[in-house]
Chain A
Amino acid sequence: MSVLVYIESDNGALKKAALEVASYGRALANTLNTSLSAVIFSSENNELLASYGVDKVLTVDYSEKFNAKIYADIITQAAQKEQATVVVLSSSADSRYLAPMLSVGLDGGYVPNVVELPTQTQPFTVKRSVFSNKAFCATEISTAVKIIGLSNNAFGLVEHPVSSQTEPFSPNIISTEINIENVDKAANKVTIADAETVVSAGRGLKGPENWGMVEDLAEVLGAATACSKPVSDLGWRPHSEHVGQTGKPVASNLYIAIGISGAIQHLAGINSSKVKVVINTDPEAPFFKAADYGIVGDAFEVVPKLIEKLKEFKAQNG
């Protein structure tokens, strides 16, 4: 018996969401009085996993590009080898892609968007967000194996050093009809999915030529940039930056909205963010009702000042 976590890395570096999954897995293993194993597709950074409580690291001998069906099958084999009763994954696009396949492979119930440790283990009950974070649902998993998709930034990082062992894992590799032809990914850019802070701007910025200050603000904060739907529809910013109900979901710790009125479809996509700051000229903008901190003012005056003050703050606080 064990808890198994799927650890994602990007160019050899462990993703923050993966460490969060490890932190959650550790706490869950303690609750269930069992050990924590991890399955990982790169061989570096195993010491880091030990500091987040992973007892055993299975290093998969497979270095091809991510293919959900093959990965799901490998994780299924790892779960069987470790006799895992719970498998925990992140909410990344890749994890969401493979989790349903894993569920069928392991005959185990999958609950995504889980926001905390199980409220009870007999019967096994977890809390997940539903209705675009407008409600939570206590969900019981009735199968022997349980699969949990952890919501981003819901549990946080919790260090828990253990002595860890590493074991090479050579699974059977299945064949698939899917061929990955091309991966087009911006290098060295914080993605909306991984970001702790997201700086987002809307039509209030008046034109694409004014996005320099949004990018500057994002850079000071180490944040990802995003935009509202009208901005992506107008072609001011790429579709991949559109956040909202039909765009990308955001679950950051800090979300800064500049010149975004706060349409209900936009709010549905960013609801899961913990702290929301709104900067808008219109004091009646609906976003002010959904935010934690607000400034009524002209973005072209407020944002440069904010950048300047944040630089001073960062200089003083490291």
Chain B
Amino acid sequence: MKILVCISHVPDTTSKINFTNDNTAFDSTGVQFVINPNDEFGLTRAMWFKEKQNATVDVVNVGGPETESTLRKALAIGADAAFRVNMAPTDGYAVAKELTKVAQDGHYDLIIAGRESIDYNGGMVPGMMATALGASFVNNCISLEIEGEKATAVREIDGGKETLTTMLPLVIGGQKGLVEESDLKIPNMRGIMMARKKPLTVLEPSENKTFTSSVNFEKPAPKGAIKMVDADNIDELIDLLHNEAKVI
């Protein structure tokens, strides 16, 4: 089985979010970048398929040279080879098109992406890829088993879950549940050393066709100060929620 894991290079959750160039671009000054958490759950599940079912696991990212550290981390965790499509990921559709090309050229059976990236929260790349590839697609995937050509997946739905079966090729939008947080691997020294020798291939974009563009960014208005209510004065809280906030 050949698995492709799509990796998004995102600011760590604790990062300060600021913008630059007249609020037209994200300011990455001093920001620590990580593997998108939803992708990391999927990568870890892919490592399980590698260990137990002898799968090969490649990783891919669409981004500039600065994203290679994130791909190297994925290699250190255990991926076999990495690809970087040399293009700024400005639009979900353009990213999906480039990833589709990589997936087609590599004849992958299973493509794992995260349900959304934690920066732009788009959640559209896996579904677009599946449609462009004519592959099956399961979003919000919280469990995945593969037996031969047959896949059994569990999807989180509003208020419960749903079990689906399908045939490979399959694209999933993965999330926590594919593996647990405690299963996530921190690369060890041996992994890091080996990752240096693994192939990281840079590909030029094939078309970079976009549907949308980000014009500019703004931050929400600063929040007003919190109103503290005395623990013995619950009536005041109810009054505030009813008359001021108007939410009850």
**Interface residues in chain A, defined as those with a beta carbon under 8 Å from any beta carbon in chain B:** 68-69, 72, 92-94, 96-101, 103-105, 108-113, 125, 129-143, 176-186, 189, 191-194, 196-197, 221, 233, 239-240, 242, 245-247, 253-254, 264-265, 268, 274-275, 277-278, 288-298, 301-302, 305-306, 309-310, 313, 317
Evaluate whether A99 and B231 lie within 8 angstroms (CB atoms) in the complex, with A137-B214, A240-B156 already known: no
Determine if B245 and A275 form an interchain contact, defined as CB atoms under 8 angstroms apart: yes
B14 contacts A by Cβ under 8 Å: yes
Q: Which residue of A lies closest to B139 (CB)?
A: A97
Query: Which B residues are CB-close (under 8 A) to A182?
Result: 162-163
B88 contacts A by Cβ under 8 Å: no
Q: B212 contacts which of A141, A245, A309 (Cβ < 8 Å)?
A: A141
Interface residues of B in 208-228 (CB under 8 A from A): 210-220, 223-224, 226-228
Q: B166 contacts which of A135, A178, A197 (Cβ < 8 Å)?
A: A178
| Contact flags B121-164 to A (C-beta < 8 A → 1, else 0) | 11111111011100011111010000000001001111111111
Q: Which residue of B lies closest to A189 (CB)?
A: B159
Q: Which residue of A lies closest to B129 (CB)?
A: A100
Interface residues of B in 1-58 (CB under 8 A from A): 11, 13-14, 17, 19, 37-38, 41
Evaluate whether A136 and B220 lie within 8 angstroms (CB atoms) in the complex, with A69-B137, A240-B161 already known: yes
Query: Which B residues are CB-close (under 8 A) to A68?
Result: 127, 137, 139
User: A71: shortest Cβ distance to chain B, in Å?
Assistant: 12
Q: For the complex, what is the distance from the CA of A199 to the CA of B117, rounded to whole Å?
A: 26
Query: Which B residues are CB-close (under 8 A) to A130?
Result: 119-121, 217
Evaluate whether A295 and B229 lie within 8 angstroms (CB atoms) in the complex, with A137-B214, A313-B248 already known: yes
User: A257: shortest Cβ distance to chain B, in Å?
Assistant: 12
Query: Which B residues are CB-close (under 8 A) to A112?
Result: 121-124
Q: B247 contacts which of A104, A141, A197, A288 (Cβ < 8 Å)?
A: A197
User: A76: shortest Cβ distance to chain B, in Å?
Assistant: 10
Determine if B93 and A109 form an interchain contact, defined as CB atoms under 8 angstroms apart: yes
B73 contacts A by Cβ under 8 Å: no
User: B119: shortest Cβ distance to chain A, in Å?
Assistant: 6
Q: How many residues of chain B are within 8 Å of chain A by beta carbon? A: 81
Q: A177 contacts which of B41, B136, B212 (Cβ < 8 Å)?
A: B136
Evaluate whether A134 and B234 lie within 8 angstroms (CB atoms) in the complex, with A109-B212, A194-B158 already known: no
User: A6: shortest Cβ distance to chain B, in Å?
Assistant: 15
B192 contacts A by Cβ under 8 Å: no
User: A194: shortest Cβ distance to chain B, in Å?
Assistant: 7
Q: For the complex, what is the distance from the CA of A129 to the CA of B92, rounded to whole Å?
A: 15
Query: Which A residues are CB-close (under 8 A) to B120?
Result: 130-131, 137
B89 contacts A by Cβ under 8 Å: no
Query: Which A residues are CB-close (under 8 A) to B245?
Result: 254, 274-275, 292-293
Determine if A105 and B240 form an interchain contact, defined as CB atoms under 8 angstroms apart: no
What are 14 A-B contacts defined by CB distance under 8 Å?
A100-B96, A103-B211, A104-B127, A104-B132, A131-B120, A132-B118, A139-B214, A192-B158, A253-B247, A264-B14, A277-B237, A292-B223, A294-B228, A309-B238
Query: Which A residues are CB-close (under 8 A) to B241?
Result: 254, 275, 277, 293
Q: Pick from A139, A197, A306 the residue with the most CB of B within 10 Å.
A: A139
Determine if A99 and B213 form an interchain contact, defined as CB atoms under 8 angstroms apart: no
Q: A294 contacts which of B128, B166, B223, B227 (Cβ < 8 Å)?
A: B227
5 closest residue pairs by CB, A with B: A100-B127, A297-B231, A109-B211, A185-B160, A191-B159
B69 contacts A by Cβ under 8 Å: no
Query: Which A residues are CB-close (under 8 A) to B41?
Result: 246
User: A308: shortest Cβ distance to chain B, in Å?
Assistant: 8
Q: A246 contacts which of B131, B161, B181, B211 (Cβ < 8 Å)?
A: B181
Q: For the complex, what is the distance from the CA of A268 to the CA of B13, rounded to whole Å?
A: 8
B165 contacts A by Cβ under 8 Å: yes
Query: Which A residues are CB-close (under 8 A) to B214?
Result: 137-140
Q: For the complex, what is the distance from the CA of A130 to the CA of B152, rounded to whole Å?
A: 32
Q: For the complex, what is the distance from the CA of A309 to the CA of B248, rounded to whole Å?
A: 13
Query: Which A residues are CB-close (under 8 A) to B164?
Result: 178-181
B242 contacts A by Cβ under 8 Å: yes
